[in-house]
Structure 1
Amino acid sequence: MRALVVDHGKAGPVRFADVDEPVPSISEALVEIRHIGLNFGELNYVHQWPAGAVHGHDASGVVVRAAADGSGPPVGTRVALGMSSHAWAERVAAGPASLGTVPEGVDLADAAALGIAGVTAFRVLRKRSLLARNVLITGASGGVGHFAVQLAALAGARVTALVGSPERAAGLRELGADRVLTDLAEAGDRFDLVLDTVGGPLLARAWNLLAEGGTIHLVGYSSGEDTTFPSGSLFGFGEPRSITTYGDMTPTSGDLTDLLGLMAAGRLTAPVGLRGRWQDLDDAVRALFARKVHGKIVLDVL
């Protein structure tokens, strides 16, 4: 079968290859993949995976063989794969812990956009009550950012979305952002929670805008820059402030089910900024790295 595998050469980060068919364990279903969702991290840091390995974590498709032990969804079930392994292939063996059943009315392509981005935003924002709290989402035009803006607004937060340019602000107010900024100097308020996908100098600036008792959750470092905190900036009186790293890869089935339920109810939309065929992967990767895509990239497996 065809799959996208890790390529450490100049032609990378991934390439098409013929690979062996997956052999499901007794508790795994065989899923025919219809769509894959790309993420910046898994492509930008591809050196962390072995060359030749089937890559990717997010996808959606249909169960063509149920798990032999009777666990998981039956044949014909439409499913989303989130934070799974080796997901960018024509067929994938997956256990029930990484599968979410896609309800009627939810497009399979939209379900492929959930995965890492949707689950990350969901888990971070459920860490504390957000009702009437000030929440800052950095990198708000990306996949995590689009989901985070919607979910924070649903939870009753006052949402400030930070983007890199005015062009990347499109649609964020419609998703629930109360304010969309291109410079933190315009913020004015202090924030109870910051979901940061950027890192670098921006992180230090966000720290200075954190309210007493507030928390910054680090879910990415797309800037690729180091963060330097000025002397004394990490000391303060009042309720403790904190910075928390976040990279939870525990089973995603329950979170996917909750997110898909919100999508089915019309309360959450998939931030698909580019839709294409997986044969056009190279163009999609270039657009992703050039920051030309608002939201997620979903490719159809044809």
Structure 2
Amino acid sequence: MRALVHDPDVPGRLAFAEVAEPRPRAAEALIEVRAASLNFAELAFADRARPGGVPGLDAAGTVVAAADDGSGPAEGTRVVGFGWGGGAWAERRAVHTGELAVVPDCVELGAASALPAAGVTALRALRRLGPVLGRRVLVTGASGGVGRFAVQLAALAGAHVVASVGGPERGEGLREIGASEVVVGLADVTAPVSGVLENVGGRSLAEAFGLVEPGGRVLSVGMASREPTTIDFERERLRGGDRSIEPFVVGHPIHGERFGADLGYLVGLLARGRLDPQVGWRGPWERAGEAAEALLGRRVRGKAVLDIG
């Protein structure tokens, strides 16, 4: 079958190749992929990938062979799925049924494909923050895939959302999806916040920690800056108060943290018009290199989606 594979020697590090058909395990369904989305992290850290491997975490399509163990959706069902091992950027992929959600006919598959990694990350990170009703929540890197889902979900949960972006153009559309304030950088955030979903890392993470009120929490969700963070904890001790900062990990199947249930919840929001997938770039998978360069160059607001086949 045809697939996009990791090739470190070509622009965008992606090339087409013929690869072996997936061989589903007992609890896996075989999916005919129709759309897949790209995530910043899987491109930014592509040097960790195995040459010749099929990347991609998120894809939507149709079940062409149900799981042998009887779990999951039947053949012919429209689904969206997540795969810890990649494999989404191919004509077919095998997905554990615990990582699948059924997509109703009213939801377009390309829109559904934008949900798994970014949407579930935002959802679980927001849960980790705890109750946010009536509280100020800061989302940094708010124009990215995770950021735009986090803004919407925090607003739905009743938060006063402060959305921080890297430039004025990156903030377009954020108020329309729930942001109460849109700021460039963090210098204009003058009032304390109770929680932070921090997607940038580096200096941004340190600055965000300094904005948290006593009892608040910062979750380090991502590292879009690809820069390490230095925090002066002696200064923080002198500030007083009980604030916390922690790395956020979306989960792992070894701990039973499958994506299926949360994906189903997000698909439901999409179907009811309460969540927007924020697809900022879309095109055929023959243009994957262009999509990757646009995403890495921060020229995409939200998600990039490839139509496959």
State TM-score, norm by structure 2.
0.94
Q: What is the alpha-carbon distance in structure 2 between the residues aligned to residue 237 and residue 169 of structure 1?
A: 31
Aligned counterpart, 1:97: 98
Equivalent residues of 2:12, 2:293 under 8 A apart: no
The residue identity in structure 1 corresponding to 2:155 is A
Shift of 1:258: 0.6
Distance across 1 between alignment mates of 2:289 and 2:160: 38
Question: Residues 219, 77 of structure 1: CA spacing in aligned structure 2 closer, same or farther, 3 A cutoff?
Answer: same
Residue number in structure 2 paired with 1:267: 274
Question: Structure 1: which 5+ residue stretches go unaligned?
Answer: none
- Show CA shifts across 1:53-83 (max 9, x none): 1111011000011112211100111111124
Paired position in structure 2 for 1:292: 299
Across the two proteins, how many residue pairs are aligned to each other?
A: 302
Q: Pairwise mapping of residues 49-60 of structure 1 onto structure 2 (< 5 A)?
A: 49-60=49-60
Residue 126 of structure 1 pairs with residue 127 of structure 2: yes
Match of 1:197 among 193, 196, 199: 199
C-alpha deviation, 1:226, in angstroms: 2.3
Q: Tell me which amino acid in the other structure corresponds to 1:188.
A: T
What amino acid maps onto 1:177 in structure 2? A
Q: Retained in 2: the 8 A contact 1:83–1:252?
A: no
Q: 1:35 matched to which residue of 2?
A: 35
Name the counterpart of 1:107: 108
Q: Pick closer, same or farther for the CA change 1:148–1:83 going to 2, 3 Å.
A: farther
* CA displacement 1:12-66 (0-9 Å, x = unmatched): 5222110011111122111000001001111111122221111110110000111
Of residues 216-225 and 30-39 in structure 1, the stretch that sits farther from structure 2 once superposed is 216-225
The Cα of 1:120 is off from its aligned counterpart by 0.3
Q: Aligned partners of 1:272 and 1:83: how far apart in 2? A: 20
Residues 173-252 of structure 1: matches in 2 within 5 Å? 173-230=175-232, 232-236=234-238, 239-250=241-252, 251-252=258-259
| 2:38–2:305 contact (8 Å) kept in structure 1 | yes
Matched to 2:205, the amino acid is: L
Task: Return the letter of the residue paired with 1:121.
Answer: A
- Tell me the amino acid that sits aligned with residue 136 of structure 2: N
- Unpaired runs of 5+ residues, structure 2, are 253-257
CA RMSD of aligned residues (A): 1.4
Note if contact 1:83-1:249 (Cα within 8 Å) is conserved in structure 2: no
Looking at structure 1, the residues matched to 238 and 135 of structure 2 have their Cα atoms a distance apart, in angstroms, of 21
1:233, distance to aligned residue in structure 2 (A): 2.5
Q: Which is worse superposed, 227-236 or 199-208?
A: 227-236
C-alpha deviation, 1:140, in angstroms: 0.5
* Amino acid paired to 1:102: V
Contact kept? 2:125, 2:250, Cα under 8 Å: no
What corresponds to 1:137 in structure 2? Answer: 139
- Aligned-partner SS, 2:214: strand
The answer for the alignment partner of 1:9 in structure 2 is: 9
Tell me the amino acid that sits aligned with residue 13 of structure 1: R
Match of 2:255 in 1: none
TM normalised by structure 1 equals 0.96
Instruction: Compute the displacement of 1:237 (Å).
Output: 6.2
SS in 2 for 1:258: helix
Q: 1:93 & 1:224 partners in 2: Cα distance?
A: 31
Report percent identity of matched pairs: 49
**8 Å contact from structure 2 (residues 11, 289) kept in 1:** no
**Partner amino acid for 1:225?**
E
State how far apart, in whole Å, the 2-side matches of 1:114 and 1:277 are: 19
